[in-house]
Amino acid sequence: MHSMKYLFEPESIAIVGASSTEGKIGNSVVRNIAGGGFRGAIYPVNPSAKEILGHTAYPAVSSIGQEVDAAVICIPAEHVFEAVKDCVDSGVKQVQIITSGFSEIGEHDKENEIIDYAAQKGTRILGPNIFGIYSAAANLNATFAATEVTRGNVAILTQSGALGIAMMGKTAASNIGLSAMVSLGNKADIDEADCLDYIREDPSTAVIFMYIEGIKKGERFIESLEKTTRVKPVIILKSGRSSRGAMAAASHTGSLAGSDAVFDAIIRQCGALRAESLEDAFYWCSYLSSSPMPGGDNTVIITNGGGIGVMATDACEKYGIKMYDDQTALREIFGPATPVFGSTRNPIDITGGAASHDYNLALSAPAAAPDIHSTIALYCETATFDTENLAPMIRKTWEEHKKAGKPAVYAIVGGSSVTSVIDTLQKENVPVYSDVDEAVSALAVGYRYRSYLETRNNAQDWASIDMATINEIIDRAQSEGRSFLLANEGAAVMQAAGIPVPQSRIAQNLDQAVEYAECLGYPLVMKVVSRDILHKSDAGGVALNLDDKEEIIDAFEAIRQNCLNYNPSAVIDGFEITEQVAEGTEIIVGARRDPAFGPVVMCGLGGIYVEIIKDVVFRALPLNRQEVVGMLEEIKTYPLLLGVRGEERKDIEGLVDTIIKVGTIIKKCNRITDIEINPVVVYEQERGLKAIDTRILISNPKEDSK
């Protein structure tokens, strides 16, 4: 924290590579710092200049002779290490390396050398390969961007430099004011989490927007993101929905956990708002940076046009915004503002003849009505409207809503006079949009964020598990050089966690088969156990629906004969007698150790088509029961668990227990990399569930000993 303050609020800054030559990055950075109104000391560093842009220049940082909080480095890559060394040895606390030519082109050693040296003295490094930092707190524009920055309350963190520079221009053009803009580049040292730790506490930042390409230290990121969303909204735009991770994965869980699916689940779990486009992100920024959170669910739409009202209604349904529909109350609240040929049903249609005073009346009403919590105001340009009063009407009614602590968003559609009203009002931070969907989606993120804050629950639920037994099973598998558990070992792990599995025993001869069958009860399944027969069904090694002793005897003989015919030299290790599992709802439950985010759990619709249907949901650990229920509710086929067509509700509580148990296993046992139970057959409440087929991957024993 201490060192991050020097990044955002340095009192002195050196620019290594400062130049008098216009067009050079070292020239732009000095110009921006000085021209941006930085109040601290500015020290250009250049081996041959005496003075740059009116500031005394120094041949090296070590020759400045004053305390230097931060340094920007913009000299060619081959000289960067020496320059960093000079900064570190001179006691500079923060070094920003603009220079490219490091890990992004495979020069990892060059980058690591710098980071290692700086770490020895506690100097933090931003970059390399960045366009710099803007921080309103210090009036510091240490970037080489060409655009002037508009001050405001949105902080932007970006991994892409070029996009960041473009965003600086775009924020200005979109009337979004910045409290900070940080280019993270290669994230060799300082990353998103470090910056969030500072920005979270920064009183001038109301909203954070991050553009991310990938996360290196996932668990630290989750921790910092979660802390941040508790106090301010975070919007994330991420590119790279890569499927490379999926291709490399060895299990369904792995292949379904394409890095983006996990990332998406985790950031939503942390309360961040994921945008799909820059446009959306900017609309959301402008709304969240200006508006109060909705205090309840009831939303009204007020319009002068039926079509645009229907569009907004559709958008509300799409984004999960609830329309207020107490018809009596609506009539009472909006009756005085609605002509007889209009409508007080939500959307409230004050009709095409409405002028500014009609809008004033209609829009003031919800601000004062206790049961209405948010307003979507729509306007289609008409000839009867007194256009000169459009901006004052919006300004006035928006202030009224703001004073009442309620959000109001405006979508106004029309020609150039409307466009200029949008521009004027956006500069004043009023959430006015040119399209219905933009306005409704902005209000919806307010609702999403509110619902997250209301339902967040930091409790953690873990299960009590017989880890000694699980460790013994893994010891044995590793001692045999295996990186997977056999089916019966997987079942034993489930039993050690208290997850029900079908009862099963392995008979060595016919007498035992009969004895076990009588003991287990019918119907039963019999399967050959042979290391020489991988595909049991192909070999005729499986018999289903065995209902009595005679059928067991027949099946035993038939399987033995079939298998010997299939492979005369096959060694038959035994005959597995298993309870025949009744049909139920097939669910997949999995867990894996994500390379970036650590242990994650997954569940969804199970069975043989999981990878085609892909109806699965992920969560990072730790979790509590409430979050697991939320996870199940996100599965599209969740109604199957609630019971469809007169079926009873399934044992959802048992499934929640199972997910918590699987999560506990992966969390407690580092040697397990993947768990997948497919299917878990879930029955009605009193009949519980059964884990039918469990696959467990373990780390390679050789890697463990490294």
Residues that bind ligand COA (CB under 6 A): 16-17, 19-21, 24-26, 45-47, 49, 74-77, 79, 83, 98-101, 129-131, 161-162
Handedness of CA 216, 233, 136, 165 (dihedral sign): positive
In the three-class reduction of DSSP (H, G, I as helix; E, B as strand; rest coil), residue 183 is classed as strand
Shortest distance (Å) from residue 85 CB to ligand COA:
11
Shortest distance (Å) from residue 166 CB to ligand COA:
10
Q: Which is nearer to ligand COA, 87 or 552 (CB)?
A: 87
Whether residue 345 contacts residue 303, with contact meaning beta carbons closer than 8 Å, is answered with no
Q: How far apart are CA 409 and CA 553, in angstroms?
A: 75
Whether residue 387 contacts residue 354, with contact meaning beta carbons closer than 8 Å, is answered with no
Q: Which is nearer to ligand COA, 107 or 423 (CB)?
A: 107
Q: How far apart are CA 650 and CA 125, in angstroms?
A: 54
Whether residue 27 contacts residue 13, with contact meaning beta carbons closer than 8 Å, is answered with no
Shortest distance (Å) from residue 148 CB to ligand COA:
19
Q: Which is nearer to ligand COA, 20 or 255 (CB)?
A: 20
How many of the other CB atoms lie within 10 Å of CB of 455?
11
Shortest distance (Å) from residue 195 CB to ligand COA:
17
Shortest distance (Å) from residue 160 CB to ligand COA:
7
Instruction: Find the radius of gyration of the CA atoms of the chain.
Output: 32
In the three-class reduction of DSSP (H, G, I as helix; E, B as strand; rest coil), residue 582 is classed as coil
Shortest distance (Å) from residue 27 CB to ligand COA:
7
What angle in degrees, to the nearest 10, is found between the helix axes of 549-566 and 510-520? Answer: 130
Q: How far apart are CA 355 and CA 88, in angstroms?
A: 66
Shortest distance (Å) from residue 58 CB to ligand COA:
9
Shortest distance (Å) from residue 145 CB to ligand COA:
10
The two counts, helices (H) then strands (E), for the chain are: 26, 29
Shortest distance (Å) from residue 536 CB to ligand COA:
58
Q: Which is nearer to ligand COA, 163 or 444 (CB)?
A: 163
Q: Which is nearer to ligand COA, 129 or 304 (CB)?
A: 129
List, in order, residues 6 or more apart from 383 with CB less than 8 Å away. none
Q: Which two tokens stand for residue 610?
A: 């999981």
**CB closest to ligand COA, residue no:** 161
Q: Which is nearer to ligand COA, 140 or 691 (CB)?
A: 140
Q: Which is nearer to ligand COA, 161 or 309 (CB)?
A: 161
Q: Which is nearer to ligand COA, 77 or 262 (CB)?
A: 77
List, in order, residues 6 or more apart from 87 with CB less than 8 Å away. 14, 16, 61, 68, 71, 73, 95, 123
Q: Which is nearer to ligand COA, 46 or 286 (CB)?
A: 46
How many of the other CB atoms lie within 10 Å of CB of 271?
20
Chain centroid to CA 260: 9
Q: Which amino acid is at 640?
A: L
CA distances from 107 to 78, 101, 664 (A): 11, 7, 40
